[in-house]
A and B are shown apart, each in its own frame.
Chain A
Amino acid sequence: MTAKGQGRTAFAYLAPALLILGGLLAYPIYQLVLISLYDYGQEQVSGGAPLEFLGLGNYRNLLGNQQFWGVLGQTVAFAAVCVVGTLLVGAFLAILATRVRTWVRMTLFLAALGAWSTPAVAGSTIWLFLFDANFGLVNEVLGTQGFSWTFDKWTAFGLVAAQVIWCSFPFVMVTLFAGIKAIPGEVLEAAALDGASAFRTAWSVTLPLLKPIILVVTIQSIIWDFKVFTQIYVMTNGGGIAGRNLVLNVYAYQQAFAASEYGLGAAIGVVMTVLLLGITMFYLRALRRSGEVL
């Protein structure tokens, strides 16, 4: 087939994909940036008022807004707690999994698979029920009937973080376990022959070999936990009382669809995208530096 013919057939095959991706991914990204530059509220949507170009007005508005900085700080702190918690639990269990017999390990993995595959909304409601003020098992066991876990800002955040860690540690555990298993036995034997202690082997042999995998799961967790929406929305009923449990994602949603400030909501979306792209770039650079091929 001629080169031209190849190109034509190729584009015929690609046409449906390009149509969908162009229309429903590329165009909305362009629109997102565009909307964020306008004053786009209820009147503009219904056609009652003309569109007003604000330039960077929405962003200036946002950066001068105390609540935005509060929410941003909360988002970073919440994501940090979730990431650290997920990694610690996942790594700890991955190491334990290498030291037990197969049936014990399979039991653990099966339980983890269950937590992993539970849909976020269902998982959130189960946890809400377990921690319910009056009928929840946790209050019953602790003897604190009537205590509302979702009322106080910090217990609410803690509860959501625990739920997020519950459903995201399995990914870290399974991946790290596979990584540990892939380390050749000879390497560890050589370390033992040289008289290295168990701790020394873990610190100077296993850890460096696992570095690329640890990097992948860390960044992946950061990206996931930075944009948690469902758990916060369902468990704190849309961001908590007076919005004190908001994270960036829920904040953008509330600004756009509850307050009808679509321009502002889009601006928050852009800020979030830029932050995440920054993290991803950092990730790719780090991957390349550790000698990983893409």
Chain B
Amino acid sequence: MRRWLTEGFVLIIAAVVAFPLFWMVLSAFKPEDEIISADPVPWTTRPTLDSFTRALTVANFGRYFMNSIIVALIVVFLSILISFLAATALTRFRFRSRTTLLIMLLVVQMVPVEALTVPLFFLMRSVGDSVPVFGLNHLGSLVLVHLAFSLPFAIWMLRGFVAAVPVELEEAATLDGASRFRFLWQVLFPLVAPGLVATSVLSFIHAWNDFLFAKTFIISAVENQTLPLALQVFVKPDQNDWGAIMAGSTLMTIPVLIFFMLVQRRLVSGLAGAVKG
């Protein structure tokens, strides 16, 4: 009896927690008159894609969606490459400043990146003078900062995965005549893949969700906005097109949600540091 009560209670809590997301998706599919009706109901008998059409055409969300995807994917791709090389160097080689570098990697993770908006703004401004693609108002500036923010953790985490690959494997590969380059990309890289999955999910979500830096860097180039920024611009006091806003929110949330669900298991095994040889 008591367990039934507890379970009922837990299910109610789960419903409450999931409710905002349910309401978002529902409102995105509701026709406009049901959204602005004075007594909203938690269902709809006339689902429609009107709100999505408005969000994609009027607010140009398709463009911003692609911008967000481009930034996040480039960040993931580069951070995989760079952090893999750096993690290999920090685990497989012995050199003098190794410990210092490791400690610095830990320390920079504690700096609140939000505090760096002012210097990064000016840095991007001067970078833009010589290389416009990486300057203000361009997606390149976002790629650069998110790459920098995701690297310390990615390197730190991959270190464990690289260390878990036995050194004998490298010796065997060398005996078989594999070059260092081949060993790196054809033996070591596939073996640390679970760790790469975990770190890239985190970098992806970080870049995808960012609002502050997109707001600071993309000032006048409306065509280069990313989704979070576009969504915020779309929310106007007093005259909100809530249907389109909820459609935009849905478009922004669904990829992360699917991504999270798909890699959930691998993420857990990745975070636990399990490498199967």
Contact = CB atoms under 8 A, between A and B. Distances in A.
Interface of A: 3, 6-7, 9-11, 13-14, 16-18, 20-21, 23-29, 31-32, 35, 93, 96-97, 99-101, 104-105, 107-108, 110-123, 125-130, 132, 135, 137, 140, 145, 166, 223, 227, 229-230, 233-234, 237, 249, 252-253, 256-257, 262, 265-266, 269-270, 272-273, 276-277, 280
A252 B112 CA distance: 13
B10 A20 contact: no
Contacts of B145: 24
Query: Which of A116, A122, A253 has the most chain B CB atoms closer than 10 A to its own CB?
Result: A122
Nearest to A36: B118
Contact of A104 (B11, B94, B119, B237): B11
A100 B123 contact: no
B228 A119 contact: yes
A25 B112 CA distance: 11
Interface string B171-190: 00000000010000000000
Given A6-B93, A233-B211, A28 B249 contact: no
B242 A132 contact: yes
B111 A25 contact: yes
In order of increasing CB-CB distance, the 10 nearest A-B pairs are A269-B115, A24-B148, A31-B119, A13-B89, A17-B86, A10-B93, A111-B18, A7-B95, A121-B228, A28-B119
Interface of B: 3, 6-7, 9-11, 13-15, 17-18, 20-21, 23-24, 27, 35-40, 42, 81-83, 85-86, 88-90, 92-96, 98, 101, 108, 110-112, 114-123, 144-145, 147-149, 151-152, 155, 180, 205, 208-209, 211-212, 216, 227-228, 231-232, 235, 237, 240, 242, 245-246, 249, 252-253, 256-257, 259-261, 264
A113 B265 CA distance: 13
A16 B245 CA distance: 40
A80 B161 CA distance: 36
B20 A24 contact: no
Nearest to A267: B118
B231 A121 contact: yes
Contacts of A265: 117-118
A21 B151 contact: yes
A14 B85 contact: yes
B273 to A, nearest CB: 14
B108 A26 contact: yes
Contacts of A31: 119, 122-123
Given A17-B151, A100-B3, A252-B115, A126 B85 contact: no
Given A14-B86, A262-B118, A125 B245 contact: yes
Contact of B17 (A3, A111, A140, A272): A111
B245 A20 contact: no
A229 B212 CA distance: 8
6 contacts: A32-B116, A111-B15, A135-B37, A227-B112, A229-B114, A276-B110
Contact of B14 (A107, A122, A132): A107
A227 B114 contact: yes
Contact of B208 (A14, A99, A119, A125): A119
B152 A21 contact: yes
Given A13-B89, A266-B119, A229 B211 contact: yes
Contacts of B37: 135
